[in-house]
Structure 1
Amino acid sequence: MIVTIDGPAGAGKSSAARELARRLGFQFLDTGAMYRAVTLAALRAGVDLTDPDALLSVALACDIDATDSQVTLNGEDVTREVRTSEVTAATRHAADHPGVRERLVDLQRHVGRHRDIVTEGRDQSTVVFPDAECKIFLTASESVRAERRFLDLTKRGERVSLQEVLQTQRDRDDQDAARPIGGLAKADDAIEVSTDGMSHEQVVARLLEIVEQRRPAGC
C-alpha cells in the first residue's frame, strides 16, 4: 500500500509522515530530502547551480537514501546538513530541473515498488504515485507554518528572524505553485487536513483514521 502526503512547506508533513509510517509498520520516504541531498552535493562540489548539465551530472552520481529517519549521501549521514537555510534556499534549482526530477522520481518509484510506504513531498499524489491507494494533502495557515520553521531553525542553532522565515516561506510558496514540473497541487482524490490548532499526536491520529478508511481489504 502507498500512502502519499503532499502539502506546502511547514505543514508538518515530514514529522507526521515519519510517525505514521512507524505506527503502520510501513517504510517512510522523504522525497524532499532527496532534492536537498542533490543540492548539498552540488554546493560541496562548487557546481554552478544554474548550469543544467553540471547539476544533472551531480544528480546522476549521487547515491541517496532518504528512507526512515536518516538521509545519506554517498554513504554519509547528511540528515542535519540538508535542512540548513543555505540548502533550503538553493534546492529550487534541483527541483526545477527536468532531468534531476526524472532521476529522483525513478528512485522514488523504485522504493515504492512491492512494499508498503508512506511518502511525503509536493507531487507524490499527482506525479510520482498517481495510483496510490491513500492520498492526503496536509496544510496549515501561513503564520503557523512560519512559526514551526522558525522554531526548527533556531533549534538547529541558526540565527534567523521570524520575519525572514515568513518572507522565505512566501517566496517558496510562490515558486512551488508556479513550477511547470512537479508544482504543488492537491490531487482531486486527496483528503485535505489542516493542522492548525492540532498537536502532533492529533495529526497522526487523524492520518491513521484516513489510512484505515482507504486501506484495501487484506492489506
Structure 2
Amino acid sequence: MHCKIAIDGPAGSGKTTVAKEVAKRLGIDYLDTGAMYRIVGLYLHNSDTDPNATEEIEQRLKNVSIEYKNGRYYLNGNIVGDEIRTAEAGMYASIYSASPVVRKYLTQLQKEICANRSIVAEGRDIGTVVMPNAQVKIFLNASPEVRAKRRYEELKAKGTEVSYDELLKQIIERDKKDTSREIAPLIKAQDSIEIDTSDLTIEEVVNKIIKIANEKCKIVKEQ
C-alpha cells in the first residue's frame, strides 16, 4: 500500500519546510506543487500573457515542458532556481492559477507524479483535488502577521531587501485570491486535520504529522 500525505495551507504557513522534512524522515518522495504554479506564473508573466486570455494561455502552455527529477524542477530542459521564490512570483502564481487552463494542465501533471508511489505533496488543493483519497490530509495555518514575518526573515536571509508591510499586504491579497477563486479554491478538506503553526516549531509540526502518518499508514516507519 502506498502512503499519500497531502499538506495544504496558505502562503507562509510552513508547508514547504514541513513537507520536505516529513518526507525525509519517512523516507518517501516529496512534491512542492506550489513551485509548479510559480514556474508557470512567472513564465506566462515574462511572456506578456494576458491572465484572462484563455486561448493565449493554452497556446503558451503547449510550449511548456515541466519535469521533476531528483527533487529539482526543470522548465524546458533548464533547471529552475530561486527566481520562483520571490514575493512577485508568488503573486503571478496566484493570478494565473485562477485560469482553468493552467489548473487543468498542472493538476493532471501533479496527479501523474503522485500516482503509484508513497509521497508527501504540498500545495493549496492537494487534499481536495490532486489527492482526494490521500490517507493523511493536513491543513497548516498561521496568522497573516506570523506568515509575513516568516517570509520576511526567509528573504532577508537570502540577501533580498523587502518590506514587511508590503509582504503582509501581499499575503492578505493572496489569501483573498486563493480562497475566492472559482476553480479549486484554497479550502480545508472535510477530513483533514488542521494544525495552527503560529506558536509551534518546525520540529513540533513535523512530529505531529509523522505520528498521524504512522497511525494511518501502518507500513510507514520513521527512518
TM over 0.5: yes
1:152-173 CA distance string (max 9 Å, x none): 2222333221111111111111
1:41 aligned to 2:43?
A: yes
Identity level (%): 39
Choose the corresponding residue for 1:4, options 6, 9, 12: 6
Q: Which residue of 2 aligns with 1:163?
A: 165
1:74-95 CA distance string (max 9 Å, x none): 2212230111232222222321
Structure-to-structure mapping, 1:122-137, within 5 angstroms: 122-137=124-139
Does 7-16 or 87-96 show the bigger shift?
87-96
- Which runs of no fewer than 5 residues in structure 2 stay unpaired? none
- Which runs of no fewer than 5 residues in structure 1 stay unpaired? none
Q: Which residue of 2 aligns with 1:111?
A: 113
Deviation at 1:69, TM superposition (A): 4.0
Deviation at 1:40, TM superposition (A): 2.0
Residues in 1 aligned to 2:70 and 2:191: alpha-carbon distance in whole angstroms? 26
Would the alpha carbon gap of residues 184 and 67 (structure 1) be closer, same or farther in structure 2, given more than 3 Å must change? Answer: farther
Would the alpha carbon gap of residues 43 and 26 (structure 1) be closer, same or farther in structure 2, given more than 3 Å must change? Answer: same
Does 79-88 or 2-11 show the bigger shift?
79-88
- Please report the TM-score for the alignment, with normalisation by the length of structure 1: 0.93
Q: Which residue of 2 aligns with 1:190?
A: 192
What amino acid is the match of 1:137?
F
Would the alpha carbon gap of residues 67 and 163 (structure 1) be closer, same or farther in structure 2, given more than 3 Å must change? Answer: farther
Choose the corresponding residue for 1:58, options 57, 60, 64: 60
- Kept after mapping to 2: 8 A contact 1:18/1:69: no
Residues in 2 aligned to 1:67 and 1:11: alpha-carbon distance in whole angstroms? 25
1:164-193 CA distance string (max 9 Å, x none): 111111111111110111111111110111
RMSD: 1.7
Q: Secondary structure at the match of 1:151?
A: helix
- Please report the TM-score for the alignment, with normalisation by the length of structure 2: 0.91
- Kept after mapping to 2: 8 A contact 1:10/1:146: yes
